[in-house]
Amino acid sequence: MTNKQDSDAYKQKRKFFDKLLTIYGRKPVQEALQQPGIEIHRLHLADSNKPAAVLDEIICIAERQGAEICYHSKQALSRISKNAKQDQGIAVDLILHGYQQADAFLQNLPRQFELIALDGITNPQNLGMIIRSVAASGIAGLLLPTKGGAQIDPLVIKASAGALFRCPIIRCDNLHDTLSQLKAKGAQICALSSHATTSVKDFNPQGAAIYVMGNETHGVSDDIAKLCNQHLKIPMSNGVESLNVAVTASLLAFRSQI
C-alpha cells in the first residue's frame, strides 16, 4: 500500500469512527436500540453479566442487524463506557449520521446556517432538553465541547426523549478554537447574556450565526465572551433576571419558525 492509499484509508477510518457515539447502561441501550433506523457498530458486554431478559433483547437486536458483539472483562468494559459506576456491564457504539467532529463541519460549511454552542452547561436535564429542541428545530446543529460541561450520559439521553439519536451534533475539543475558526470564516459569534443591550429581535443575521449559551450560574465565560462579535439578550419583564438555559437555547433555535 502506498502512503497515499494509507492516508486515505486512515481518513476513511477516522471519518467512520467520528460518527460513533458510545452509550452505556441497560435501559439507555435498550431504548436506543428500539429507535427506528438506529445503526449499531459494536455491542460490548461484560462477561460477568448474569442472564437477564433485557440483555437477551439487546443481543437479539444486535444479531439481527449483524452487529459485532464483543465480550470483555468488567474492567475492560468500563474503559469503553468510561463510566464503571453506571454502565451496568453494557455499552454500545452507535453510528449516528447526525454526529460529526468540528473539523469535518468546518470543511463543508454551508453558506448560511445557525448553531447553538454550549459553554459549560453542567446540568444533564438542560443538555437533554437542548438536544431535543435543537433536533426538533431543524437548525444546523449543536456545537458541544468534549470538556467543561455535562456529557452524553443516561440522564441526558432520557431528558432528550430519544432526540439525541436524531440531533445534528458537532463535537469539538476546544470551544474557543472552534468558534475562532468559525468567526474567521465569517460566522457571527453571539453570546447570550441578560446584560447585553441588543435584543435578539433586532438581530437578523445574513449568513452564519452561532448562539453561545453560557453556564447556568456564571453565564458565558470571559474568554469566549471576548471572542464574540455580538452580545444578545432576550427581553425580560417583571424583574426576572434570566431564563432557564434550555429555554433560551430553544427560543433561539425556533425563533424563525414560530
Q: Is 250 in the site for a second copy (CB under 8 A)?
A: yes
Q: Which of 52, 2, 46, 7 is nearest to 27 (CA)?
A: 52
Looking at 109-244, which runs of residues are DSSP E strands? 114-119, 141-145, 169-172, 188-192, 198-199, 209-214, 230-233
- Residues in the chain, total: 258
Q: Is 246 in the site for a second copy (CB under 8 A)?
A: yes
Nearer to a second copy by C-beta: 145 or 162? 162
Which residues between 111 and 140 bind a second copy (CB under 8 A)? 125, 129, 132-133, 135-138
User: Using CB under 8 A, which of the segments 42-50, 63-71, 88-96, 232-240 binds a second copy?
Assistant: 232-240
Q: Give the x/- contact pattern for a second copy in 186-225, rule: CB under 8 A.
A: -------------xxx------------------------
Q: Compute the distance between CA of residue 129 and CA of residue 137 in angstroms, rounded to an integer.
A: 12
Q: Compute the distance between CA of residue 199 and CA of residue 101 in angstroms, rounded to an integer.
A: 31
Q: Is 161 in the site for a second copy (CB under 8 A)?
A: yes
Give residue 247's Cα distance to chain centre: 17
Q: Which residues pair with 145 in a beta bridge?
A: 172
Which residues between 39 and 68 bind a second copy (CB under 8 A)? none
The residue ranges that bind a second copy (CB under 8 A) are 36, 98, 125, 129, 132-133, 135-138, 161, 163, 166-168, 199-201, 234-240, 242-244, 246-247, 250-252, 254-255, 257-258
